[in-house]
Structure 1
Amino acid sequence: MVGAAQLFAERERDLLTWDGDGPVCVSFGEDGLIVEDALGTARRSLAGGADLAVFSGSDELLLSLHTHPDGWEIRETTLAGVHESWSVTPPELGPGAELCDVLAGVEEKGGRCLVATAAGDEPSYWEITREAGARRLTLPGSGRPVAYDRSLDAVVLEDDRGPNPPVLRLHRCDGRPVATAEGRLLDDGDGQVLLGDGSGVEIRRIEDFTLVRRVEVTGEVRDARFLRGGRRLLVVTCEEGRDRVLLTGPRETVPTEGAVRVCAAHRGGIGLHSVSTLGASAWTWVGPDGSVRTAAGAVPRSGLSATTTHVRHGATPFVLHRPRGEVTGLVVALHGGPESVERDELRWEGVYRDLLAAGVAVAGLNYAGSTGYGSRHRAAPRHRWDASLREDIAACAELGRELGVGLSRTVLLGGSFGASVALLAADRLPGLGGVVACSPMVSLTGFRRRAEEAHPAYGGWFEERFGPADHELFSAASLTRTGDTPVVVIQGTEDEVVDAGETLRLVDGARAAGLAWSGVVEEGMGHRPGTPEQSAARRTLLRTRLLELLGAAPARSAPWAPDPDVLSRDPRDLVLPPRVPFVRPDRPGRLIVFDGVDGCGKSTALRLTLDHLTASGVPAEAAQLLSPECRDLPHFRVHSSDVTAPLRRETDQPSLALLCLGDRLLRFRTRYRRKLAAGQWLLVDRYVFTGLAEAMAFGAADDDLRLLAELSGLLPEPDLVFLPQVGPERAMRRIRERPEERHHRLDPGFHRRTSAAFRLLGEQYGAVMFDADAGPDAALAAIRLHVDPLIHTSPEEGR
């Protein structure tokens, strides 16, 4: 099964271009733009320390703006990391003004330029070129520049209208107004702009907004781009819960599976990402000539015996994921919005796959008011939400009966507005198995008031959709008419959409009234998970609570039986275990861990660090947590002399990992804990990450991974983790150079998969990863960058 953290990381990744090695992806991190391959393996960092950055597709360059006291530096960086820079004199932005946005545009002679926006008492806009420096643009209003072409004397500003489609204002570069249009600007290029309004797309000339042509499509337009080098368009539509990718002129379909996201569009082509509930994720590149290339993403196929279909009960549509064979329960998922849609995608942090593996069907309910089914379906519940929802809720009961599970084995899962609908359903479906409501909208009246404070346009939006009776329906009094139905409410403390305090008061009131409610508070969580760790925690919580309500404890995975071919499989099927729940003790000493695949150079890195700390006057010691007695055990000697032994069941890797974990824990508690307490620095060669990485490489069962991660939390959290990086072939050559290990049996697949597992763990725990082949000086420099600040801070300050 794919881990929630992996799924989260892939959602944060974009496909920028395609080179000879395949997809070139990027994600944003603390060090700037991280260039990665299709599986998320980092290649290099770009634009570190930039104030603003934008990718110029016409040149395949990353343009970044770095502000310094004596000037603005503009860097033009290729994806290979080669860059040149130039500087301009910083203009006076005005009191309290700060740069907030940047756009890649076209300057007067057709070359590239930047258009920067500064926010302050009055917004200001600046064209930045190498030749002319920064010059102010006289543009009226406070819109956001979304297209700029001085060679055609055109700048397009977007006025935000809250929930309504934006207004696009075309101006001359001296500020003179030319024309306006309503819609989302999806793309611009070759003197044209592409606008979308849901039912179709419009191509307009950028000089005067004259309509060139309109393209109508079946379904709802989700996104669209120009296919450079021709007059064709790529359009992503959604129809009956399924995304489709179309090329126009001539019209043809681009094969994709599941939900589709447009990542980039420029002269080199258009990049797409797709992922579905059952299928593998994929990166797709559509070239200027319409040619299609694909590569697998990090999310593997589910391997489940299940199907995904679109079904209706009466007028109510569902996207149904059904396990083959007996259905043991039904979870009905209700999206938020309400103007959103449940598609075939791996939603709710991937928990759908967990439910299907337990024999539970999952049905995405696209209740009246959802998008993707035309304007009539979207407008159907307006000012009659109670009657409309009764029809959709009744359809849920009919679907359960058809699947043979009945109401007692049906649970509703909702988020935001959908969570409120799920709570209302409990009053209309006596005997319902339960409700899991994440961040419910407790009061429509209060929600409207907060939305209007953010943007006045929300007043008219709510007025069009909801009447007085609807405000009474979506209120605390109505949401708590749940009778005997068990209810679990999940609420993040940092929710930016709903009032967390209001939700918690709702739970307290329901419990005081004797209702079967329970509340789960997620500390630090927003309206949805914002980090890989939060995503993994949310998935575990949902899986546990949903299966509990269905009367089925989470199924134990079968005892681990190694796949004889596991070491030859691609590392993209690696599954991250849950995050280790380290407890950080109060200690004056420091714990520094060096871990990684055998032969990666961790012992050398540890020695370099120890020498540096000793020379700096720091009390430090190299610590071997694994005892000589454990290393001398028969099963340990079998595994260390032949890494493929677990495949023949000559030993059992998860059991051996637990054995080594217990030995490390015993040795730490009896020998090393008091040294940390006395202020000693401990430099540890191998830690809990070795057992976890090897278990991942061998494809250990989910239960084994969970147990390993949970018990690893008995050891203290390190202050720093170093993972030297080296290629599998180089690592094996180093092992061969050791006389005592010359005849050990090695396996390239084991080293490749274990190396990839260490990289995933390194990303999960914020480890420092550096090139071990760059030499000892480079290694020590990378180490000192992180160790030296700890020398001059107390443990309390560093934490």
Structure 2
Amino acid sequence: MRLPETFFTERQRHLLSWGDRPVLGEVGEDGTFRIGDQDAVSGKSGAGVVSMALDGDAILYAESREVFTSVTLDGGPRLAVVETGLDGTQEHWQAALPATANGPWTIHDVLEGRDESGASVLVLTVQDARGATEFHQVSAGGPVTVHTPRAGGQLVHWDLRYDTAVVRQDQGPREPVLHLERPVTGTTPVSVPGHWRDGWDGRGLIVRDAEDGPRLVAWDLGSSSLRPVTGTRGHVDDARILRDGTGRLLVITTIDGADVLHLWSDETGEAEPLPLAPAGRLRFRVAGPRGIGLYSAGTLAGSAWLWLDEAGALHRSRGDIPAHDGGAGLRHVTYGRTPVLEYLPEEPPVALVISLHGGPESVERDELRWDGLYRDLLKARIAVMGLNYSGSLGYGTDHTRRAWKNWTRAFEEDLRACIATARTWGLDDSDIALLGGSFGGGLALLGCGLHGGLSGAVCSAPLIDIRAHAQRAADADTSYEDWFGERFELGASTSPAQRVFDPVHLSAAPPGPRAVLIHGDQDEVTEWRDSRDAVDLAVRHGLDWKLLTEPGLGHVPGDVDEVILRYGHVKSALSEVLGHPLP
């Protein structure tokens, strides 16, 4: 199995629990959900695998009890529930929802909550035929508790011990609003802005936007009070509450393009980094009374499953992606004020790829980017610079805002810094290619216009027409109008050059650099037609541009066949642009 296929398959798996090794789940080829230890699920052993059908109106993995729950309405108020344990044992029970005069209920969501005694319950989000929404708490043999939310949005937490229902109301590009409602007493809800991360035993964890970067905040769900969580270093990404009653937190932050795992103590207010280097990208997968599980993946480190148990001990099991077998190196460097993740092959590089992430308000991390493509580049003695260009997150507000309405000058500074470093390695400008996805694809085309001596650009699902893109977003949610207006020149009187990301401007680049645009014709984020029109304009101007259309593909590959297809297209395009064969 090739690396892109292996990576896609592994990251689709669910970490459910931990015995001697990880207990995983995945959707099989027959559509059933397969549960077993790591080797059994990956087919490396003949150990038993539990299979369960993925039927029902909604399915939930109840982390606190380690059971899968399937809920189904029979067309009336009768709810059928099937609970399947990790060993395959099943329990069936039913509940009767309150009748509605406005047609049958439709289940839109289900989550695990707590009733007033602290017992685990299911909480359904249901709607009637007129769109009225209610939350229904149900349990085996227990009464149905109904709450009509005052705020629109998604229920993310329910615990009647603390008279708590937290509803998240999304606001497009802006910070969501979290509404703390009181289902028992019915008192006036309290609303705070923030990104919900976790809730347990009367406490919530939210990440709030701030001028100096995201801040982790503990939310007392009983008193509604907020308390900043201090002591962690870096750009806060995610956090979970340990289910052991100690108040400790497990926090992921990003420092210099690398994820760091911190164990934060409520007693001391201090965070201890856990020994994981090199970790790659870290993502939480499960949090239950027996521990918290994560998945990690990095270009050089490979992949691993991680588990922090009740005693605070960290366990690690190697994933299906081994460590890189070459002598390549990775370091975070800053060229002037341009931060870069620098991947160098074992031998002196013969070429360079400058990689540009999407967003723009995202960050380049070491996370097996481009489905592991960097490994093939390193084997071919091609260096990679993962550029956190001006406009990226993770390096402070000044770095993010430096590019706003100043994209050409800001990116030219970053690009010049990268090119100057490559020259010290003995590379010519013609040995350098730009690789970008989504917004990064538009930047790659901009770079060809700024530096005509480059070999060229490979752009996957590029964002080329920022004004049309912003208008489509604003048509769906008006709050996008201000968001884009803060960052880009979009006025009716602006020229293509002022807009920067405009087909007319980008296709007026000097002759020399090649450009290969790769775009799915069913892209739901960026517009395939914009790529087509830009290539047509460029060809008329005598530029060496071409469009590779992927029939049926969206913005991101949706299955393993699409992953392999796009990987092959990007890889062959880079080989063509650089003039170097890739393994």
TM-score by length of 2: 0.91
Task: Give 1:143-162 correspondences, 5 Å limit.
Answer: 143-162=153-172
Are 1:482 and 2:509 counterparts? yes
1:738 corresponding residue in structure 2: none
1:689 corresponding residue in structure 2: none
- What secondary structure, in the 3-state scheme, does the structure 2 residue paired with 1:494 have? coil
1:285 corresponding residue in structure 2: 307
- Aligned CA distance change for structure 1 residues 296 and 442 (closer, same or farther; 3 Å): same
Are 1:187 and 2:183 counterparts? no
**Distance in 2 between residues matched to 1:405 and 1:273, nearest whole Å:** 37
**Equivalent of 2:537 in 500, 509, 531:** 509
**Distance in 2 between residues matched to 1:123 and 1:452, nearest whole Å:** 26
Shift of 1:213: 4.9
**Distance in 2 between residues matched to 1:82 and 1:195, nearest whole Å:** 36
- What secondary structure, in the 3-state scheme, does the structure 2 residue paired with 1:252 have? strand
1:578 corresponding residue in structure 2: none
**Distance in 1 between residues matched to 2:169 and 2:226, nearest whole Å:** 20
1:631 corresponding residue in structure 2: none
**Equivalent of 2:253 in 221, 237, 248:** 237
**Equivalent of 1:228 in 233, 237, 243:** 243
1:53 corresponding residue in structure 2: 59
Task: Give 1:73-472 correspondences, 5 Å limit.
Answer: 73-92=80-99, 94-95=102-103, 98-119=106-127, 121-132=131-142, 134-173=144-183, 175-197=186-208, 198-229=213-244, 230-249=246-265, 251-256=271-276, 257-468=279-490, 472=499
Shift of 1:377: 1.4
Identical amino acids, percent of aligned pairs? 34
1:549 corresponding residue in structure 2: 577
Give the letter for the 2:349 counterpart: V
Shift of 1:158: 0.6
Partners of 1:62 and 1:78 within 8 A in 2:
yes
- Range 156-165 or range 508-517, more displaced: 508-517
Shift of 1:45: 2.5
Partners of 2:327 and 2:346 within 8 A in 1:
yes
- Aligned CA distance change for structure 1 residues 452 and 355 (closer, same or farther; 3 Å): same
Partners of 1:178 and 1:208 within 8 A in 2:
no
Shift of 1:83: 1.4
Task: Provide structure 2 residue ranges, at least 5 long, that are not aligned to the other structure.
Answer: 44-48
Are 1:493 and 2:521 counterparts? yes
Task: Give 1:590-605 correspondences, 5 Å limit.
Answer: none
Partners of 2:503 and 2:530 within 8 A in 1:
no
Partners of 2:508 and 2:538 within 8 A in 1:
no
**Distance in 1 between residues matched to 2:311 and 2:96, nearest whole Å:** 42
Shift of 1:27: 2.9
- Aligned CA distance change for structure 1 residues 472 and 97 (closer, same or farther; 3 Å): farther
- What secondary structure, in the 3-state scheme, does the structure 1 residue paired with 2:189 have? strand
- Aligned CA distance change for structure 1 residues 124 and 495 (closer, same or farther; 3 Å): same
**Distance in 1 between residues matched to 2:517 and 2:228, nearest whole Å:** 49
Higher strand share: 2
1:709 corresponding residue in structure 2: none
- Aligned CA distance change for structure 1 residues 341 and 270 (closer, same or farther; 3 Å): same
- What secondary structure, in the 3-state scheme, does the structure 2 residue paired with 1:318 have? strand
Shift of 1:514: 2.4
- What secondary structure, in the 3-state scheme, does the structure 1 residue paired with 2:229 have? strand
Partners of 1:224 and 1:235 within 8 A in 2:
yes
Which digits, 9 at most, give the CA deviation of each residue in 1:135-173, with x for residues without a partner? Answer: 431211312111101122111111101112211111110
**Distance in 2 between residues matched to 1:490 and 1:50, nearest whole Å:** 38
1:41 corresponding residue in structure 2: 42
Give the letter for the 2:3 counterpart: G
**Distance in 1 between residues matched to 2:281 and 2:579, nearest whole Å:** 31
Which digits, 9 at most, give the CA deviation of each residue in 1:464-499, with x for residues without a partner? Answer: 222346862111111112322111000012211012
- Aligned CA distance change for structure 1 residues 36 and 547 (closer, same or farther; 3 Å): farther
**Distance in 1 between residues matched to 2:527 and 2:36, nearest whole Å:** 38
**Distance in 1 between residues matched to 2:156 and 2:423, nearest whole Å:** 51
Shift of 1:92: 4.6
- Aligned CA distance change for structure 1 residues 212 and 33 (closer, same or farther; 3 Å): farther
Shift of 1:252: 2.1
- What secondary structure, in the 3-state scheme, does the structure 2 residue paired with 1:177 have? coil
**Distance in 2 between residues matched to 1:512 and 1:130, nearest whole Å:** 69
RMSD: 2.0
Partners of 1:106 and 1:113 within 8 A in 2:
yes
**Distance in 1 between residues matched to 2:25 and 2:498, nearest whole Å:** 44
- What secondary structure, in the 3-state scheme, does the structure 2 residue paired with 1:215 have? coil
- What secondary structure, in the 3-state scheme, does the structure 2 residue paired with 1:389 have? helix
Shift of 1:134: 4.2
Shift of 1:113: 1.3
1:678 corresponding residue in structure 2: none
Shift of 1:532: 0.9
- Aligned CA distance change for structure 1 residues 95 and 388 (closer, same or farther; 3 Å): farther
Number of aligned pairs? Answer: 554
2:17 corresponding residue in structure 1: 17
Partners of 1:2 and 1:299 within 8 A in 2:
no
**Distance in 1 between residues matched to 2:104 and 2:457, nearest whole Å:** 48
**Distance in 1 between residues matched to 2:232 and 2:275, nearest whole Å:** 17
TM-score by length of 1: 0.67
Task: Provide structure 1 residue ranges, at least 5 long, that are not aligned to the other structure.
Answer: 556-799
**Distance in 2 between residues matched to 1:441 and 1:33, nearest whole Å:** 37
Partners of 1:38 and 1:298 within 8 A in 2:
no
- Aligned CA distance change for structure 1 residues 307 and 106 (closer, same or farther; 3 Å): same
Which digits, 9 at most, give the CA deviation of each residue in 1:547-587, with x for residues without a partner? Answer: 221111235xxxxxxxxxxxxxxxxxxxxxxxxxxxxxxxx
Which digits, 9 at most, give the CA deviation of each residue in 1:394-441, with x for residues without a partner? Answer: 122113212222210100000111000110111111111010011111
**Equivalent of 1:527 in 546, 555, 558:** 555
- Aligned CA distance change for structure 1 residues 492 and 471 (closer, same or farther; 3 Å): farther
